[in-house]
Chain A
Amino acid sequence: MSSATTIPDVSAAAEALLEIRTVAKRFGSHDVLKSISLNIAAGEFLTLLGESGSGKTTLLRLIAGFEEPTAGEIWMSGERLDPLPPYRRRVNTVFQNYALFPHLNVRENVAYGLKVRGTASAEVLERVGQALSMVKMDEFAAARPSRLSGGQQQRVALARALVNRPQLLLLDEPLSALDANLRKQMQSELKALQRQLGITFLFVTHDQEEAMALSDRIALLRDGALEQVASPREIYAHPATAYTAQFIGQTNLLRGEIRRGIATCGPLRWPLEEPDGPALFSLRPECIRLSREGARRNSEVKFRAGIRQQLYAGASELLEVDCGAGQILRVRVPACGSLTGEHDFVFTIADALRVQE
């Protein structure tokens, strides 16, 4: 594989901090990344989302410099990044298990990057102090990492990276080792910090909720290729593929066909002006409502289905309903008390999104 002449992407290049150009990575005979192209704008919070083995961590390691791409180029601020060793890149990483130096205390850990670059000791002291108070860890400055809890180690790791004022901060599943409550808290702190500092964050996670909550844009990876890159709202409301629709949030996938302006999925039928042929639709559970009144608007599809299962979740309920002919749908409705037997349901035609296989 030779890196072919890169196609200049003028529109995005003007403001892009990081440009990933047709980057591929192969381990042995396994293609971990297949020709990824992605631009990251300055100040953006971009999340690489994907299942384990999708290549998201590999992409991060290519940018940090711990791995070399098999093909393609990585550019940052008009400088080619991929031939540089990791210690020459203006990029810092927050590692999955923090990777704090066990033989150094918190202050020495945070000062590490400044010291190796020969920063004057007065400045080191000042910036380390600032970084530690930024993550609220001043009082632990003299403690060894082994004495700290997971959340505290997380903060030190963040301070250790941010004290170097990187142009780009890479975060490799930094919250995955924390328990649920702490995780939520760290998420909002992380987001606030990113806003406040204006540093570009490239965040890796397998948790779609986390990605939705934090990101300006989400890049969804699947088997080493980009499935879709879009803002959380866009990617949720308009998933391009069935995989995206299922990975981001929950959905019902309806397999059917279009013939002479009518879409048919089992017992469900609605008018759709598209060419004839097989079709796949994504219909979110919350787009289906219980229909108590008899009338139906033209823009809606109404159907009758039996309740198979009801899962109570406090504010809402998740129903599993059978509309006949083997078509099972999941429906999310506001808490409505116990339901049995058959009921009328309705959804808006525009909410049944046509997606690629």
Chain B
Amino acid sequence: MYSRTYKSLVSAPPLLWVALFLLLPYALMFAHSLWQVQDGALVHHWNLDNYKKLVTNPVYLEVLFRTVRIAASVMFCSLLLGYPLAYYLSFHSHARKELLYQLVIVPLWVSYLVRGYAWKTILGSDGVLNGLLQYLHITHEPVSFLLYSPFAVVLTLTHIYTPFVFLAIYASLEHIPRPLVEASHDLGAGPLSTFFRVILPLSMPGLVAGATFAFVLSLGDFLAPLLVGGSSSTMIANIVQSLFGAAYDWPLGSAISVCILVLIIGLLFLTERLEKRWSFK
């Protein structure tokens, strides 16, 4: 076995890293959330005023609900796109499997910003989509609701997170032993029945993992609303960003961050239990 010295030597760097760059910042953030800003200066006066502000001021709750709504829509849309794609690739693509898999992965190599700007040029009032609509005489002037709307944010985020959702589901589908599918057919279940009775239940861990991924990452996103969202789709992370920036109210920003952190940790805890219940080893 390994010696004590070796073990502590090997585990020290990651432990130090976690303490320095994860636990310490979180502790600082938590401390900030209990402080205040007075006359443009931070005062270390411990209180719960920031949290009270969050609960009483409807603006914050409204933005939080909108954020959850957008994140849930992104999750739903990327599941709707990712699951059938993963199912097709895993069960029916045969020889084209490798090629299709690579095609799904390729967008991951393109920068987030580039993809955001791409949607901007597609959805904008002199963009590709409006040009096409007018060329086909479906509309006579540019449609403005495409860009700078929650719709544009959901579209962009769905585009970005679908490959991740796909990967999680694909991995769990690939782990289903094929004889189980044959056994189901053998016992008289057609393709649809087999899907709902065998394949879907056995792919639940991947589905939950993918859904969590899309939801949690969308929840904390601030770039998509900045690029394509406009003022009607400000998300909670945009508020945090401005509080830490122009508004210079770190304590309130920290309080919001702590709330989101608690929300997400609770969510991860829940989904991990779900994944465990649905894995049959």
Contacts and interface: CB of A to CB of B under 8 A. Distances in A.
A, B co-complexed: yes
Contacts of A65: 185-186
Interface residues of A, number: 26
Interface stretch (B22-30, B63-71, B193-201): B193-201
B42 interface: no
Nearest to B183: A99
B182 A66 contact: yes
Contacts of A87: 185-190
B199 to A, nearest CB: 11
A95 interface: yes
B108 interface: no
A164 B188 contact: yes
A158 to B, nearest CB: 13
Nearest to B181: A99
A62 to B, nearest CB: 13
Interface string B233-269: 0000000000000000000000000000000000000
Interface string B171-185: 000000101101111
Interface in A220-254: none
B280 A146 contact: yes
B280 A86 contact: no
Nearest to A157: B183
Contact of A101 (B180, B185, B188, B190): B180
Interface string A95-126: 11101111100000000110011000000000
A97 B280 contact: no
A98 to B, nearest CB: 9
The residue among B185, B188, B198 with the most chain A CB atoms within 10 A of its own CB is B188
A103 B185 contact: no
The residue among B185, B186, B197, B198 with the most chain A CB atoms within 10 A of its own CB is B186
Nearest to B278: A103
The residue among A92, A112, A144, A161 with the most chain B CB atoms within 10 A of its own CB is A112
B35 to A, nearest CB: 51
Contacts of B179: 95-97, 99
Nearest to B180: A99
B127 to A, nearest CB: 47
B202 interface: yes
A321 interface: no
Contact of A116 (B177, B188, B280): B188
Contacts of A93: 182-183, 186
Nearest to A66: B182
B281 interface: yes
B183 A95 contact: yes
Nearest to A65: B185
A144 B278 CA distance: 13
A83 interface: no
A143 to B, nearest CB: 12
A85 interface: yes
Nearest to A145: B280
B255 to A, nearest CB: 43
A185 to B, nearest CB: 24
A155 interface: no
A92 B182 CA distance: 11
Nearest to B198: A101
A175 interface: no
Contacts of B177: 97, 99
A101 B183 contact: yes
A117 B179 CA distance: 20
Given A65-B186, A87-B188, 11 more contacts: A64-B182, A65-B185, A85-B185, A91-B186, A93-B183, A95-B182, A97-B177, A97-B179, A100-B183, A103-B278, A161-B187
Nearest 8 pairs of A and B residues by beta carbon:
A113-B187, A102-B280, A99-B179, A99-B183, A116-B189, A86-B185, A93-B186, A87-B185
Interface of A: 64-66, 85-87, 91-93, 95-97, 99-103, 112-113, 116-117, 144, 146, 160-161, 164
